[in-house]
Chain A
Amino acid sequence: MAGKAERMTGARAFVECLYRENVEIIFGYPGGVLLPIYDELYDAHLYHLLVRHEQAAVHAAEGYARATGKVGVCLATSGPGATNLVTGIANAYMDSVPMVAFTGQVPSSMLGNDAFQEADITGITMPITKHNYLVQDVKDLPRIIKEAFHIASTGRPGPVLVDIPKDITTDELDFVYPDTVELRGYKPTFKGNVQQIKRAASVLKGSKRPVIYAGGGVIGSEASKELLAFAEKIKAPVTTTLTGIGGFPNDNELYLGMPGMHGTKYANYAIQESDVLIAVGVRFDDRVIGKATSFAPNAKVIHIDIDPAEISKIIKVDVPIVGDAKHILASLIDHVSECNTKDWLDKIATWKRDFPLFYVNRDDVIKPQYILEQINEVCPDAIIVTEVGQHQMWAAQYFKYKEPRTFISSGGLGTMGYGFPAAIGAKLGRPDKIVVDVSGDGSFQMNSQEMATIVQNNIPIIIAIFNNGYLGMVRQWQALFFEHRYSHTTIENSVDFVKLAEAYGAMGIRVTKPSEVKAAIEKAVEANGPVLIDFIIEREENVSPMVPAGAAINEILDLEDIQ
């Protein structure tokens, strides 16, 4: 539709573009060069959430994207505002999350002069964005924004940054939003090659010990239904990586839990003994595969992925299928029949019985795993968002996820301070869901200022701090590999978290006894507002089982026994 072009400023066009992309929420923080854009946002028909630190804006945009499947949008000013986005952009890049980050920039005429609050943010973010733009002419703004959303959300999703010099926001253009995108260098493969799909089916035909290893690509391509149908058709067990959690119902008997460093023993054993490994939307991360040369030594590997660069990057793949996981699984289903896996599933059942995930509960001190079981009891349909550390691994192990987009965690980058702002984004994207930030006492302090944001905007989030007085995950490694020399990992008595919550005007609850855990969670759910629960947990609990870094994934330590 080539409607009549309306004359307007770049700032006005910016808002118009967001309307055309159906953006409903934007996470941001203003600054000098953004004044014209913020003036337009003053009465725009979209929700702008004012955070307290730009890092929170970018993580919140990511949490929103992961909870909804839509593109997350954030906005920061030039210089320090832009550089404060860097960690979050890198996080979204590592975990392939669709995002468009907008930054203000000094006026074009001052670029390169070390002007006040100038930072070369397109240069800085080149290796951590799928693509980025510096807008040089206001006439290009609509096309660039259209392309940014297209690139962020198609193919292998990822963050795109658009840097907008101040003069661009005040210059005028005849606004027309393009209907289509013309990018001759960007044509992601969507449909899988039929020949390859047939080859995969023939490799699967004689398989007696197949394992499906599924990751974030299953969530990203909305392929969980197809994954379930495929697994049930061939009768193969399924393991999901940290970013794939929720992609397969955890209560299904074919489910193996998470693989890798803190995965279940039976997932790791199954991979190691598999004869065919069907890898779907995964990138063979070192935290999953351990020692690459010993990974799945007897398996023929089928790899389904949207990104050709992931094929044979780490592990030699026998049958690559490049394309969209949902589409490929759907057509693979038509080419396969049930595998003879009865003995295999029996063997796995024995492993599950002999080597379950376990912890020794106590009634005098709170075990972190117990808290997760209780959260699962009280709000089984919640979205669990995590920070990074031991609590993150327990959240991956002990909550039963039933649907995609209910577990949101920083996988590839492992960013402490991610969870709380990501939970804000998730809650705004899914207001119907209870959202719990499973947090550590260390991680929470990296973005605790966002308490102000959730209180001011009355965003109901439950922050569950797993308070062990330690940078626990690092302490665990020090205990295991550095003779318990706890160098700079003790953070006890950092702050009274309950009083901190109250100071912001939120509800704070301290829980010191196992018997109080459930009631506290119930109270937090009922409050339906910003609540922080400070769970004082067993200080030196270890995450178990554990495959030491660089070992084969069947060389597993049982840390629960050591204690």
Chain B
Amino acid sequence: MRHTLAVLVENKYGVLARVSGLFSRRGFNIDSLAVGITEDPTISRMTIIVSGDDHVLEQVMKQLNKLIDVIRVIDLSSEEFVERELALIKVNADANNRAEIIQIVDIFRARIIDVASKSVTIEVTGDIEKIKAIQTLLKPFGIKEMARTGIVALKRGSKSL
């Protein structure tokens, strides 16, 4: 089962190490991790995607809560939520296939943000499935490089954490 955890933490040195250490010590693999500052500059928000057994997840959440620098832990997957990730993909492109690539980019409502003689760099935003889909379609052209931000997520509706 895949879980999307939102973890509010003190914006201090060492917090990322504390949190990631908790996972690795339990042999629990992190699929995606994104960290950034929130509307309150003293608080950072981590979005952590993990897949695993519910019992292990419950332990991880409790252990996270035990960390002094962790303010709140929420499993967003237990409710309605929206999630997005941004990926930058550098694809081989020349005069022959550029049009085809642009078509794919348009369908995915992605953008080309850099063009060179032998490549284009694409910016795409979406959930995991969308990024996977565009990646599959671009693969035949030859993906030279790819960087992803990791997923960030918020609860749906007007309520906040």
Contacts and interface: CB of A to CB of B under 8 A. Distances in A.
B59 A309 contact: yes
Contacts of A451: none
Interface stretch (B17-25, B121-129, B145-153): B17-25
Contact of A151 (B55, B62, B63, B68): B68
A122 B21 contact: no
Given A151-B68, A185-B69, A309 B14 contact: no
A355 to B, nearest CB: 36
A519 interface: no
A309 B68 contact: no
Nearest to B9: A185
Given A123-B17, A126-B17, A126-B21, A185 B68 contact: yes
B21 A309 contact: no
Interface string B60-99: 0011011111110000000000000000000000000000
Contacts of A126: 14, 17-18, 21
A307 B63 CA distance: 10
A151 to B, nearest CB: 6
Contacts of B55: 312
A313 interface: yes
Interface string B106-138: 000000000000000000000000000000000
A127 B23 CA distance: 11
* Residue from B13, B17, B55, B68 having most chain A Cβ neighbours under 10 A: B68
B40 to A, nearest CB: 11
A184 B63 CA distance: 16
Contacts of B59: 309, 313
A398 to B, nearest CB: 37
Nearest to A151: B68
A122 B14 contact: yes
Interface in A119-155: 122-123, 126-127, 130-131, 134, 136, 151
Contacts of B63: 309
B64 to A, nearest CB: 9
Nearest to A123: B17
A134 B14 CA distance: 10
Interface in B41-63: 55, 58-59, 62-63
B31 to A, nearest CB: 22
A127 B25 contact: yes
A308 B71 contact: no
B17 A185 contact: no
A495 interface: no
Contacts of A309: 59, 62-63, 65-66
Contacts of A312: 55, 58
Contacts, number: 39
Contacts of B70: 185
A126 B17 CA distance: 9
A131 B70 CA distance: 11
Contact of B68 (A131, A134, A307, A313): A131
A313 B26 CA distance: 13
A127 B21 contact: yes
A186 interface: yes
Contacts of A311: 62
Interface string A420-448: 00000000000000000000000000000
Nearest to A133: B14
Interface residues of A, number: 19
B21 A185 contact: no
Contacts of B69: 131, 185
Contacts of A186: 68
A293 B69 CA distance: 35
A360 interface: no
Interface string B28-46: 0000000000000000000
A360 B45 CA distance: 64
A562 interface: no
A183 interface: yes
A311 B63 CA distance: 12
A558 B21 CA distance: 43
Contacts of B17: 123, 126
Nearest to A130: B68
Contacts of B65: 308-309
Contacts of A122: 14
* Residue from B13, B62, B71 having most chain A Cβ neighbours under 10 A: B62
A446 to B, nearest CB: 27
A136 B14 CA distance: 12
B66 A307 contact: yes
B71 A184 contact: yes
A147 to B, nearest CB: 8
Nearest to A160: B68
Nearest to B22: A127
A99 to B, nearest CB: 16
A82 B55 CA distance: 36
A308 B73 CA distance: 14
Interface string B1-27: 000000001100110011001000100
A333 to B, nearest CB: 28
Interface string A84-122: 000000000000000000000000000000000000001
Nearest to A310: B62
A308 B61 CA distance: 10
Contacts of A313: 59
Contacts of A127: 21, 25
* Residue from A123, A134, A309 having most chain B Cβ neighbours under 10 A: A309
A99 B10 CA distance: 24
Nearest to B43: A184
Interface in A149-175: 151
10 contacts: A126-B17, A131-B67, A134-B13, A151-B68, A185-B10, A185-B70, A307-B66, A309-B63, A312-B55, A313-B59
Top 5 A-B residue pairs of the complex, sorted by shortest distance between their CB atoms: A309-B62, A131-B68, A185-B71, A186-B68, A185-B70
Interface of B: 9-10, 13-14, 17-18, 21, 25, 55, 58-59, 62-63, 65-71
Given A131-B68, A185-B9, A313-B59, 17 more contacts: A126-B14, A126-B17, A126-B18, A127-B21, A151-B68, A183-B68, A184-B10, A184-B71, A185-B10, A185-B67, A307-B66, A308-B62, A309-B59, A309-B63, A309-B65, A312-B55, A312-B58
